[in-house]
A and B are shown apart, each in its own frame.
Chain A
């Protein structure tokens, strides 16, 4: 801790040695308002930190939680609080006086709370949870949704190609994606980003504009879309501490929203900015909700979980193009089965000069770019 003081004295690019009384404005006497007369010494700083977080600096997580000194009163208070929660659940499910609906709700919530990871479920269990979620929605919102738990089909590996010469930056794909996937309208979450890049300067994502609003295509610019690339060697999957995200047999990288703990490791691990986090409860007006849903796809998410593009699993697994492909008016987006030698995606890979982003990372994205 003794080295902490250097951060206060750090003075980069300065030829003269900084004196303790000077400040960033250059005046050695007062007057700039940020004079550090009362700068703490290292010792004082340590003492202040000790006072604030006490012995948690030396204790590990277990000790912090379980080895806590507690008087009898606090202990009783904490125990009662947890008992009340438990009793609430039990009473509403067992009581004779509460209505049938709330009993059923409690039963569903109970079963949902203790269900396993979707990845490990049998087909019956998958159907079970999907049925519960549909029923729960019906009980709560009074609306019927259709939710599927369709598994990956053998001999299918989804791949995507994006024609940079064709994309005109209309953003119809973004629009369609938001509607199809029930993305939060409040935070205006979008899986797809369209980057407007200057001609002749290469792919500079740091200088590209991904939120333009002017007539497109703008002169001297080209457009490049990014989204989840469904890597075949996905780093986001490796880092997930609870295995709430994985790669399916057909190549889709999916998330079990009910298993995700919201640590956002995957967001940090993704080199392509493909993942999004729900900082608040996603809200979609009831009449705009897409009721054709998939457990791993566009069903309603909750606060504090990750989500991302699933190549519209609810559509693609039944043979339909993803919403972005369908919406693109230029035909810049090509989607298909990589294992079918006669598919259009295979023709593109074999006949056009294709490339992928950050290929050297070995993530093996299943999303190729090409030009006419």
Chain B
């Protein structure tokens, strides 16, 4: 009888010690531990961001391990398809005195030694773009042209460190493609004035 009591008592003590060692608050020593531990059990969430993409027509692309949506480009180019006008070779079009087109495009991208129109555009097939090695690229995948030189930005963009997310943080992931923010003919983003100024802060600090 005595031994049963004794073991019962010991058992209770063990229980108390073991249950009290795990604090709820400090279960993890660092935030990174918590993220690592909790994401092992991650099964996805019910929340979807699909509704927030809005009216933007998107296309799904897969690059490396990443699959995501980018806005459709071809439907956004006003005079696509290009062959509606470019029915003859460029040299012939230049000879006839037609109404001038694309007069407003000035190429301010790298310098003239590095790039000209034909670096990206295919004079013989205006509906498609052209890689440096002469391969055809669809207008919807124009980011592949940019990635030829801007490989670091391309890596960051695929992962999510470069470029602007569309809609929400949950799946499906939709992201702006290069030409949605950068004008391909003049990719530098212009400086401008800030969109607000806090007059109260000035008064408070006088």
List the interface of chain A (C-beta within 8 A of B).
Answer: 153-157, 161, 163, 166, 168-172, 174-175, 178, 186-188, 190, 210-217, 232-233, 316-321, 325, 328-331, 334-341, 343-348, 351-352, 364, 366, 370, 372
Q: Check B195 against A344 for contact (C-beta < 8 Å).
A: no
Give A164 Cβ to nearest chain B Cβ, in Å: 12
Which of A316, A329, A341, A344 has the most C-beta atoms of chain B within 10 angstroms of its own C-beta?
Answer: A344
Interface centre among B44, B45, B168, B194 (most CB of A within 10 A): B194
B123 within 8 A of A: no
CB distance from A92 to the nearest CB of B (A): 38
Bound complex: CA A330 to CA B164 (Å): 7
In contact, A319 and B192 (Cβ under 8 angstroms): no
Contacts beyond the supplied A340-B39, A366-B31: 20 A-B pairs with Cβ under 8 Å: A155-B45, A157-B38, A161-B161, A170-B194, A188-B199, A211-B198, A211-B201, A213-B197, A321-B168, A325-B165, A328-B164, A329-B164, A331-B176, A336-B160, A337-B169, A339-B42, A340-B45, A344-B160, A345-B160, A370-B161
Which of chain A's residues have a CB closer than 8 A to the CB of B45?
A: 153-156, 337, 340
Residues of B near A317 (CB, < 8 A) are 47
Q: How far is the CA of A232 from the CA of B176 in the complex (A)?
A: 31
Minimal beta-carbon separation of B162 from chain A (angstroms): 7
The reply to whether B161 and A339 contact each other, CB–CB distance below 8 Å, is no
Chain B CB within 10 Å, residue with most, of A153, A188, A210, A329: A188
C-alpha spacing A174/B39, complex, angstroms: 32
Q: Tell whether, in the assembled complex, residue A341 and residue B39 are in contact, meaning their CB atoms are under 8 Å apart.
A: yes
Query: Nearest 7 CB-CB pairs, A to B?
Result: A344-B160, A331-B164, A347-B159, A188-B200, A364-B31, A319-B47, A171-B194
In the assembled complex, the Cα of A213 lies from the Cα of B38 at a distance in Å of: 44
Bound-complex Cα distance A343 to B45 (A): 12
When the two chains form their complex, are residues B156 and A372 in contact, meaning their CB atoms are under 8 A apart?
yes
Contact status B159-A153, CB under 8 Å: no
Chain A residues with CB under 8 Å of B31's CB are 232-233, 364, 366
User: Could you say which residues of chain A place their CB within 8 Å of the CB of B191?
Assistant: 168, 215-217
A157 to B152, alpha carbons, bound, how many Å? 29
Return chain B residues, CB-CB under 8 Å to A210: 201
Q: Is the CB of B42 within 8 A of A168?
A: no
Of B176, B195, B201, the contact of A188 (CB 8 Å cutoff)? B201
Known interface pairs A171-B196, A174-B196, A319-B168; A339-B38 also in contact (CB < 8 Å)? yes
Residues A211 and B197 in contact, CB atoms below 8 Å apart: yes
In the complex, the chain B residue whose C-beta lies closest to that of A352 is B161
The interface residues of chain A, by DSSP majority, are classed as loop
In the complex, whether B99 has a CB less than 8 A from a CB of chain A is no
CA distance A364 to B170 in the complex (A): 23
List which B52-94 residues lie within 8 A (CB) of chain A. Answer: 52
Cα-based distance from A156 to B39 in the complex (angstroms): 9
- Cβ-defined contact, B167 with A321, below 8 A: yes
Name, among B34, B199, B205, the residue most crowded by chain A CB atoms within 10 Å (CB to CB).
B34
| B100 within 8 Å of A (CB atoms) | no
Q: C-beta contact mask, B36-48 vs A, less than 8 Å → 1, else 0?
A: 0011011111111
| Interface CB pairs A-B, < 8 A, 30 | A154-B45, A155-B43, A163-B161, A171-B195, A171-B196, A187-B200, A190-B198, A211-B198, A213-B194, A316-B169, A318-B47, A319-B47, A319-B169, A319-B170, A320-B49, A320-B168, A321-B165, A321-B167, A325-B165, A328-B164, A330-B189, A331-B176, A334-B160, A335-B165, A336-B160, A337-B169, A338-B35, A343-B169, A344-B161, A364-B31
Kindly list chain A residues whose C-beta atoms are within 8 Å of the C-beta of B103. Answer: none
B153-206 residues with Cβ-Cβ distance < 8 A to A are 153, 156, 159-165, 167-170, 173, 176, 181, 189, 191-202, 205
A233 CA to B168 CA, complexed, in Å: 26
Q: Determine whether the beta carbon of B192 is less than 8 Å from that of A216.
A: yes
B180 to chain A, nearest CB (A): 10
Partner of A336, one of B46, B52, B169, B195: B169
| Closest chain B residue, CB of each to CB of A178 | B196
Distance in Å: Cβ of A228 to nearest Cβ of chain B: 16
Considering only residues 88-132 of chain B, those with a C-beta below 8 Å from chain A are none
Residues of B within 8 A of A174 (CB): 195-196
Chain B residue, CB-CB nearest to A364: B31
Least Cβ–Cβ distance between B164 and chain A, in angstroms: 4
Q: Give every chain B residue within 8 A of A217 (Cβ-Cβ).
A: 191
Are B192 and A215 neighbours in the complex by a CB distance under 8 Å?
yes
List, in ascending order, chain A residues with CB within 8 A of B173's CB.
344
Which residues of chain A are within 8 angstroms of B195 by Cβ–Cβ distance?
A: 170-172, 174-175
A363 to B96, CA, bound (A): 71
Contact residues in B for A156 (Cβ distance below 8 Å): 45, 47
Minimum CB distance partner of A339 in chain B? B39
Q: How far is the CB of B28 from chain A (nearest CB, A)?
A: 9
Closest residue on chain A to residue B169 by CB atoms: A336
Which residues of the partner chain A approach B22 to less than 8 Å between Cβ atoms? none
